[in-house]
Chain A
Amino acid sequence: MLIEGLYFLFAAILVLAALGVILARNPVYSALLLVLCFFTSAAIWLLLEAEFLAVVLVLVYVGAVMVLFLFVVMMLDINLAELRHGFTRFAALGVVTALAVIVEIAGVVWVRGFGLDLAAGAASQPAGYSNTLELGTLLYTRYAYPFELAAMLLLVAIVAAITLTMRRRPGLKQQDVSAQVATRAADRVRLVRMDADTKQ
């Protein structure tokens, strides 16, 4: 009962926050509301006994991706009025898409009524069961090979991204940290002796 109550609480917050993301006038508020979305989804996953996924969602999405989003949003000068300019033109397409999604969701719910029981709830695990441990055991034994390959894929992505974007342009103003550290007071301030002006 308590868990169901918590679920509805989190679900309500999630839906409201999601609505806020698209309705907020200030893009920074949108990004912050998206953080709230991720956080409440993580809470719902905790209720479903998927602790590892919940932790990863908070760490990766809230901790890394959303911080990056916020930086980008704050650095770009986003003019919402201009963005919303074409809203009515694409409204029909949006409505059709939304309807299609609703029909699909209804279809999934309806199929459950056939008794196929596609989305049977997982049996709840005994106390002391560690979702993280189970995932880790699988990842590092049976799936060790694809797991390592995925790591190599990320390494390739890093090498490719750096080699394609990092370049030294001539005339670019940038900090030279070692020069900054090695500087001395004598180089910065020049004391000039001037005779005091006296009124004639």
Chain B
Amino acid sequence: MITLSLQSLVPAIAEIWLVVAVCLILLADSFAGARRRSLTPTLTLLALAVGAALTVRYGFTGAHVTLFDGMYVSDRLAVVLKLAGFLIVAVVLLYSRGYLERRGILRGEYYVLALTALLGIFVLISAGNLLTVYLGVELLALSVYAMVAFDRESGVAAESAMKYFVLGAIASGTLLYGMSLLYGLTGTLDLGLLAQRLETAGPGVILALAFVVAAVAFKLGAVPFHMWLPDVYEGAPTSVTLFIGTVPKIAYFALAFRLLAEGLAGTTAQWTQMLAPLAVLTLVVGNCVAIVQSNLKRMLAYSTIANVGFILLGFVAGTPAGYAAALYYVLVYVLTSLGSFGVILLAGSRGFEADRMDDYRGLSRRDPLLAGAMMMLMFSTAGVPPFVGFWAKLRIFQVLWETHHLWLVLIAAATSVVGAYYTLRVIKLMYFDEPVEAPAGEPAPGVRLVLGVNAALVLALGLIPGPLLDLCARLIH
């Protein structure tokens, strides 16, 4: 029998606060009515700020705390990832506000769903048991499906939500099947015990691993499980694309880390062999297909797929240094795509989505600030030296070199060169092409300031890469 006291629940303060905030905001929103529309967005930002403050104050309780019989794990990695989650969701919602308003989908439920998705992400980050892993995956996925379909008037959004939902259900089934096989082989759902017992388990583990790896690959969007990603990125409202392109990646890194690197630690040799071909395919398909896209959101979707390849490469290394490199890459990628989708949101105006590549011709003359930010973000995505994307790629190359994966380094480097083409093409369109007639973007000075800081961070972290790299290395022990 385990005893539960309020004191012992303190490490889970972030999740508890989020649940409370979701319920309060849901109630406040229903009573606020249609006239006080800015209430829910303000309350949500406030809730995120309070959550972050509570996490900073009470979260760092110890190196490794487990709660609820090991189902909940709180370590420094979890606390830092949760703080990042709070911050990123706050920025995402800041960027989205104007877009939601002009598309007529500024409803309170959008913010509630964003918070429940964040709760799912936190559950995944702190998962210590296959049961909580699954619940976190579903909580995140269900919230996101609803967000994709949020614009009920849009047929494209409904179509992409259906695709996402059906394929996501198949992935959940695959994950559950793998988990049930693991349970059958080891008799435990606890990730810590699983790692111990797998060392003596028979060859059946390979089958279970194949299902788990396929599910993780689907969630991350690795080839050949990437089919949903371009359609969903293009079809969803841009604010939702911004959401699913950023925070969930942290959660799926946590999923891969907790499940593969911690829970299935005894079988690293097997799952790295499965991940390596996936990573290579992902790099090749993502970078090559991105070249021919004429829709910026779709191009960024394929660029996401290419980036996922790099994240997988960090896991292929199979060492703590590799996981740290993958973590660094995820954080850098999230920071960069936060800005890129933010630019799309700010460049649009009522009735103008600004999601075609041609809409960006000559942007530098129409809107120098947006063009400047986009240039820095695209340079970072391409991996051009002073920007942070360069260090992220370099770190992955380093760990692969140290673990003697020379051929992977070569493929990754070659596909990066291909990838540089389509990112630099955006810069060429913005700076060297004749401007096209397009409505002016959103003025919102406050949001533009945040976007400017976001782009400046990409440069600053590139000039001083040390602290974040050290932090990532220390978080993964």
A interface residues with partner B (beta carbon < 8 Å): 141-146, 148-150, 152-153, 155-157, 159-160, 162-164, 167
Total contacts A-B at CB 8 Å: 67
In the bound complex, residues from chain A placing their C-beta under 8 Å from that of B136 are: 149
By a CB distance below 8 angstroms, the chain B residues around A163 are 107, 109, 113, 146, 150
Question: By the criterion CB–CB under 8 Å, are B149 and A142 in contact?
Answer: no
Q: In whole angstroms, how far apart are the Cα atoms of A164 and B26 in the complex? A: 16
Top 3 A-B residue pairs of the complex, sorted by shortest distance between their CB atoms: A160-B146, A145-B68, A163-B109
Answer whether residue B243 sits at the interface, using C-beta atoms and an 8 A cutoff: no
Chain B, residues 147-184, CB within 8 Å of chain A (1/0): the string is 00110100000000000000000000000000000000
Task: For the complex, count residues of B whose C-beta is within 8 A of A.
Answer: 32
**Residues of A contacting B19 in the complex (Cβ-Cβ under 8 angstroms):** 148, 152
The answer to whether A159 and B26 have CB atoms under 8 Å apart is yes
Interface residues of B in 111-128 (CB under 8 A from A): 112-113, 116, 119, 123
A-B contact pairs, 8 of them (CB 8 A): A148-B19, A149-B135, A150-B135, A152-B116, A159-B109, A159-B146, A163-B150, A167-B152
**How many Å lie between the Cα of A145 and that of B11 in the bound state?**
13
Q: With contacts A152-B116, A164-B146, A167-B152 known, is A145 near B132, CB below 8 A?
A: yes
What is the CA–CA distance of A150 and B136 in the complex, to the nearest angstrom? Answer: 10
Cβ-defined contact, A153 with B146, below 8 A = no
Task: Tell me whether A144 and B68 are in contact in the complex, defined as CB-CB below 8 angstroms, given that A160-B113, A163-B109 are known contacts.
Answer: yes
A141 proximity list for chain B (CB < 8 A): 1-2, 4
In the complex, the chain A residue whose C-beta lies closest to that of B119 is A152
Nearest A residue (CB) for B71: A145
Which of chain B's residues 9-27 have a Cβ closer than 8 Å to chain A? 19, 22, 26
> Chain B's nearest CB lies how many Å from the CB of A129?
17
Please give, as numbers and ranges, the residues of chain B lying within 8 Å of A144 by CB-CB distance.
4, 68
Residues of B in contact with A (beta carbons under 8 Å apart): 1-2, 4, 19, 22, 26, 67-69, 71-72, 107, 109, 112-113, 116, 119, 123, 129, 131-132, 135-136, 138-139, 142-143, 145-146, 149-150, 152
- A160 B145 Cβ-Cβ under 8 A: yes
Q: Which residue of A lies closest to B112 (CB)?
A: A159
- B373 to chain A minimum Cβ distance, whole angstroms, is 32
What is the bound-complex CA distance between A164 and B68, given in angstroms? 35
Is A149 a contact of B146 with CB atoms below 8 Å?
no
Q: Is B150 within 8 A of A156, CB to CB?
A: no
Which residues of the partner chain B approach A160 to less than 8 Å between Cβ atoms?
Answer: 109, 113, 142-143, 145-146
Residues in B neighbouring A162, C-beta threshold 8 A: 109
Task: Please name all residues of chain A whose beta carbon is closer than 8 Å to the beta carbon of B69 when the two chains form the complex.
Answer: 142
